[in-house]
């Protein structure tokens, strides 16, 4: 796995190791420093995805069959440094696709994003196959990445598969600079007894997903019967709520919690994204179904963060 020390990678590594065995999953990271517990939990190596030789040697020397490619620069950070975002997201993907092609790997799984949508796409119940005109560099790289992966499948037979994840909420690892990070920040503030300052307006509605569902979507797509797949890239949906609805759901458990809304440059990004997704193709082609709703997620997040902060 590339980008394994990130928000999704840390939990995906654990889930894959539980399923397939600790030594069969090699976690790789770049600049984000892993904890000692993470390093001790199984094979870990440093890998810059822009270094194709290093990547190729690692694949060849470890008999790798599948790459989970999670290394990326996310939307908000990407808008602050669009050139770096392009370099890492496109260069890294091209490298893993090339290695997958040359080494004839079994499969390549990536995480695309709701950031592929933009002007012209319906914002409610956004279909899988619709106009893709993103207004962020992150979105540009995700659209181009989907096209590149699909091209490698059609031209070279690389079994590239990708889910378009919504905003991911989790308690184990902090998010890495995306536009939906305010949701995780709200939970931390609530559990720490702080007032929260949210960087989008209270009426901002975005699609979100709790980490266990996100992990399951990546693994279930990886394991899906290829003969049933008519697409390479899938919307996956779970829940949609406004920032204010999230605040209210937290207040159901922590009644004193309060939030101020001070939108910054990330509001424009949020306003260009869907409010909800149509994931019927994922349901049809590989039986996707999410499990958590907002109250269940809030209860679980608060319990886990309380345990974490108590330590």
Ligand X SMILES: NC(=O)c1ccc[n+]([C@@H]2O[C@H](COP(=O)([O-])OP(=O)(O)OC[C@H]3O[C@@H](n4cnc5c(N)ncnc54)[C@H](O)[C@@H]3O)[C@@H](O)[C@H]2O)c1
The set of catalytic residues is: 138
Q: Are 182 and 243 in contact (CB under 8 A)?
A: yes
70 part of the interface to ligand X, by CB under 6 A: yes
Q: Which of 16, 64, 88, 246 binds ligand X (CB under 6 A)?
A: 88
Nearer to ligand X, 83 or 256 (CB): 83
Location of structure tokens 């308690």: 171
2 part of the interface to ligand X, by CB under 6 A: yes
Nearer to ligand X, 56 or 251 (CB): 56
238 part of the interface to ligand X, by CB under 6 A: no
27 part of the interface to ligand X, by CB under 6 A: no
3 part of the interface to ligand X, by CB under 6 A: yes
The residues near 233 (Cβ < 8 Å, ≥ 6 apart) are: 112, 128, 146, 149, 150, 161, 162, 163, 164
186 part of the interface to ligand X, by CB under 6 A: no
16 part of the interface to ligand X, by CB under 6 A: no
Q: Which of 165, 191, 221, 297 binds ligand X (CB under 6 A)?
A: 165
Residues 95-134 that bind ligand X (CB under 6 A): 111, 113
**Distance between CA 86 and CA 261 in Å, rounded?**
31
Q: Are 145 and 93 in contact (CB under 8 A)?
A: yes
Residues in binding contact with ligand X, number by CB under 6 A: 30
Please state, as a whole number, how many other Cβ atoms lie within 10 Å of the Cβ of residue 35: 11
State residue 47 phi and psi, 5-degree precision. -150, 125
Q: Where are the alpha helices (DSSP H) in 157-265?
A: 181-191, 211-223, 243-251
Closest by CA to 257, choosing from 310, 305, 205, 292, is: 305
Mask for 250-269, x = binds ligand X (CB under 6 A): --------------------
DSSP 8-state symbol, 225: -
**Distance between CA 302 and CA 241 in Å, rounded?**
18
Please state, as a whole number, how many other Cβ atoms lie within 10 Å of the Cβ of residue 272: 19
Tokens of 309: 């902060």
Q: How far is the CB of 273 from ligand X (least distance, A)?
A: 10
Q: How far is the CB of 169 from ligand X (least distance, A)?
A: 8
Q: Which of 39, 50, 94, 253 binds ligand X (CB under 6 A)?
A: 50
Select from 1-9, 34-42, 55-63, 254-262 the region that touches ligand X (CB under 6 A).
1-9
Nearer to ligand X, 90 or 253 (CB): 90
| Contact positions vs ligand X (CB under 6 A) | 2-3, 5-9, 29-32, 47-50, 70-72, 74, 88, 92, 111, 113, 165, 167-168, 175-176, 178, 180
């Amino acid at each position: 796995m590339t980008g394994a020390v990130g928000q999704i990678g840390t939990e995906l590594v654990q889930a894959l190791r539980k399923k397939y065995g600790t030594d069969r999953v090699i976690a790789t990271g770049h600049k984000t420093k892993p904890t000692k517990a993470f390093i001790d939990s199984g094979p870990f190596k440093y890998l810059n995805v822009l270094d194709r030789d290093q990547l190729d040697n690692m694949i060849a020397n470890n008999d790798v069959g599948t790459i989970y490619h999670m290394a990326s620069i996310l939307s908000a950070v990407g808008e602050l440094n669009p050139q770096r975002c392009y370099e890492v997201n496109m260069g890294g993907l091209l490298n893993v696709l090339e290695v997958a092609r040359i080494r004839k790997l079994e499969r390549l799984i990536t995480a695309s994003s709701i950031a592929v949508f933009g002007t012209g796409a319906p914002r409610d119940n956004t279909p899988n196959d619709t106009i893709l005109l993103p207004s962020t560099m992150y979105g540009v790289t995700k659209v181009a990445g989907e096209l590149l992966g699909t091209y490698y499948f059609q031209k070279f037979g690389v079994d590239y598969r990708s889910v378009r994840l919504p905003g991911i909420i989790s308690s184990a690892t902090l998010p890495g600079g995306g536009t939906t990070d305010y949701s995780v920040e709200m939970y931390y503030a609530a559990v720490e007894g702080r007032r929260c300052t949210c960087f989008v307006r209270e009426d901002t509605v975005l699609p979100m997903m709790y980490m266990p569902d996100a992990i399951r979507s990546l693994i279930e797509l990886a394991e899906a019967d290829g003969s049933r797949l008519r697409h390479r890239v899938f919307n996956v949906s779970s829940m949609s709520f406004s920032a204010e609805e999230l605040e209210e759901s937290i207040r159901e458990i922590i009644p004193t919690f309060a939030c101020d809304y001070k939108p910054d440059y990330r509001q424009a990004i949020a306003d260009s994204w869907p409010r909800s997704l149509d994931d019927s193709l994922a349901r049809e082609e590989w039986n996707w179904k999410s499990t958590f709703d907002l109250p269940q997620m809030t209860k679980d997040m608060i319990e886990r963060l309380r345990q974490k902060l108590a330590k």
